[in-house]
Chain A
């Protein structure tokens, strides 16, 4: 090696520092030849985490597929903001299936391409959390069970944002939504409910499962590339903060995504064939309060009539994740996972 390898975050900032890297180590996004799969001009809200996540994920998938990629997309924000003319933004062949059926439609697409001998054309299916964990879960489980050759990406903004912020099976405890108002003894979404679809995917023992975040874009691209290097059913679950539904500043999207991981509330891990094989360690552990406070959906937990007991209960969830996945850097280095 002719030079000292550059370490990220060496000056204490979280700057990505692409230009300091060798060309082949740089992100897909820094490549002027990137495909711009989801190009500019769409009508996502300012600070939309989903638009950012989809752009990175699909450009990485496009590069991995050598430009031969088709996408099935469930009903949801991503479908709505990216399609009406003239804000149409997809630069890849793209299909709006319906709400609950993207995994099944993608299964058919992959099977047809295989039957025609066109296995060079790869298939991704994508949906929001509602389309994945609620209405689409039956079809997704079927896709996993058959090990169909599809990469399914869930962009999780933790509620039905497109229809006006109603809860989903991915809405976290205590979060206010239009159907879990911050009223009564248990304000916001109920504790003890909700579905951990990444772990459900792991339980299907499919070739590859990963969680990713729009705060860790190198990591996100790497996971998409890893998934595209495999065949069979693959699943990536990306946390995408939503300024509208989380009632947060649009400039805080990436910061909130990072805090979700750094608190332990959203563990970043990879699993292959039913086993967790890697985790992304927490660099600087922060209390959940730092993550909850900037979000209006948790406003009822703070202030004069706040609920420190519920904040403590959320902290317990984060601590449980940290222990379960061995997310602290020391634990990861010691191989204590």
Chain B
């Protein structure tokens, strides 16, 4: 199949269309606006819905309503808008409403650096909403992967009934690369859970299936049920029963575990590596180049490129970080994912993250220089 030269944000919109997205509500914000602009042109002729809302709070609200109405629904935004959406994201997690949120990351906090890349929303994706919220966040590292992971985001959202965030930075959003726009298979699209019985007075919309995912019907299918942001039982009615609440929170976290196997990390020259770079998004690309540079200099470097930020791919991180002598998490923030790796790494591993939060991408030379300095100081055996 031939490739098309398109921008990251266009790949996202194309991926959403391929994934069957039939509802978009959003609000203009740099550097994500191209996604909305393209879907404003593409959705209405397909009989689908594009709505420009009055702000990001309303955008996310409309997405949740549309999803409950049976649409594959999404929005796209950047940091300030992602902040405004957090209350709705907590609601979507608790009420098990499938939806996809694209966050094209720019420098923050606040208005920050509207047109510069950053990876500062990683912890916000995890903890931005109050309470113990389990969630899924994906991190594509190329324009091609923006396409494929947007499709995967819809599959995970629909099959696991959860909000899924796709986080990539401004550079990936605006970069142009050749992309193969392959149509997803039915398995790659996935299907939303739905009730297996007709409506009856004893119907339980929030009873989980064998995978721990609630079987909530779409509105309009003849079922009468409650959806609420309060803690609820399997009937969907509010409850303050401590045991039921604890069980619900545990289930909402457990049901997301399949995402870890579904989106495995990419391993590059790791087999004999004593120096392990860990990176995601745009930084994983420069980190790969840094590995090649270091290898040419005789330093046994390798890269673990993750495409899944949350739930944490803990097993892979534990394995590589314990087998290495030096682990360098490279990210464009003040140290977010690096803290998670620090938690998992063994006592004998030296951890020295390379962090950069000024509004530009970490270069291969910066990263290689960082490792070189450490090896000269005798940190890792080359």
Contacts and interface: CB of A to CB of B under 8 A. Distances in A.
Interface of A: 75, 96, 98-100, 130, 133-135, 137, 160, 163-164, 166-167, 169, 178-181, 183-184
21 contacts: A98-B80, A98-B111, A99-B55, A100-B55, A130-B28, A134-B54, A135-B27, A135-B56, A163-B28, A163-B30, A164-B33, A166-B28, A169-B54, A178-B33, A178-B37, A178-B40, A179-B40, A179-B50, A179-B52, A181-B41, A184-B44
A99 to B, nearest CB: 7
Given A179-B37, A183-B41, A164 B111 contact: no
Interface string B285-320: 000000000000000000000000000000000000
A198 B338 CA distance: 51
Given A98-B111, A164-B28, 20 more contacts: A75-B111, A99-B111, A100-B55, A135-B27, A135-B55, A160-B28, A163-B28, A163-B29, A164-B30, A164-B33, A166-B28, A166-B33, A166-B37, A167-B52, A178-B33, A178-B40, A179-B28, A179-B36, A180-B40, A181-B40
Of B40, B41, B45, B54, the most chain A CB neighbours within 10 A belong to B54
B110 A134 contact: no
B33 A163 contact: yes
A169 B80 CA distance: 20
Contacts of B44: 184
Contacts of B45: 184
Interface of B: 27-30, 33, 36-37, 40-41, 44-45, 50, 52, 54-56, 80, 110-111
Nearest to A79: B111
Nearest to A164: B33
A11 B52 CA distance: 47
Contacts of A166: 28, 33, 36-37, 52
Which 10 A/B pairs are nearest by Cβ-Cβ distance?
A: A135-B55, A134-B54, A166-B28, A179-B40, A163-B28, A160-B28, A178-B37, A163-B33, A179-B52, A163-B30
A260 B45 CA distance: 33
Contacts of B55: 99-100, 134-135
A75 B52 CA distance: 18
A137 B54 contact: yes
A130 B50 CA distance: 18
Contacts of B30: 163-164
A137 B53 CA distance: 13
A97 to B, nearest CB: 10
A178 to B, nearest CB: 5
A167 B41 CA distance: 13
B29 to A, nearest CB: 6
Nearest to A169: B54
A134 B52 CA distance: 10
Contacts of A163: 28-30, 33
Contacts of B27: 134-135
Nearest to A96: B111
Of A96, A133, A135, A167, the most chain B CB neighbours within 10 A belong to A135
Contacts of A178: 33, 37, 40
A118 B52 CA distance: 42
Given A163-B30, A179-B50, A98 B36 contact: no
B288 to A, nearest CB: 32
A307 to B, nearest CB: 18
Contacts of B33: 163-164, 166, 178
Nearest to B54: A134
Contacts of B36: 166, 179
A111 to B, nearest CB: 23
A200 to B, nearest CB: 13
A141 B110 CA distance: 24
A240 B249 CA distance: 52
Nearest to B55: A135
